[in-house]
Amino acid sequence: MRDLLGMMKEMSGLKAKMEAMQAELETTFVEGRAGAGMVVVTLNAKGAMKGIAVDPSLMKADEKEILEDLIVAAHTDARAKIEAVMAEKTQGLMGGLPLPPGFKLPF
């Protein structure tokens, strides 16, 4: 029973840490790149797009499809980086908690 009470106490402290982490994610930015950096997409760690930069050489009518593909690829790259940031932050947050193997938190 003592272990359960200790775990409940840790979980209550975890709520404040999770709220702080959510606020930090708003100001954590990642860049996804495609086409050797010709397209750069900037997202915050919550996935909101904050910016896009396109090399002027891609602004030709006959390269429209290439540009569209590069934007999608850069966004995909940024999303993968967000997942890595989230995994790292979650690992730091959950370190030390006695969670069962395979247990995932819903965030």
Helix axes 2-26, 64-94, angle to 10 degrees: 150
Q: So what's the pLDDT on residue 4?
A: 75
Q: So what's the pLDDT on residue 70?
A: 97
pTM of the model: 0.71
Per-domain residue ranges of the chain: 2-94
Q: What is the DSSP letter of 77?
A: H
CB neighbourhood size of 17 (10 A): 13
- Among 27, 6, 14, which residue's Cα sits nearest to residue 94? 14
Q: So what's the pLDDT on residue 7?
A: 74
- Run means of pLDDT, 10 residues per run, the chain, 107 residues: 71 80 90 97 94 95 93 97 89 65 57
Q: So what's the pLDDT on residue 106?
A: 53
Quick one: fold of 2-94? Ybab; Chain: A; (3.30.1310)
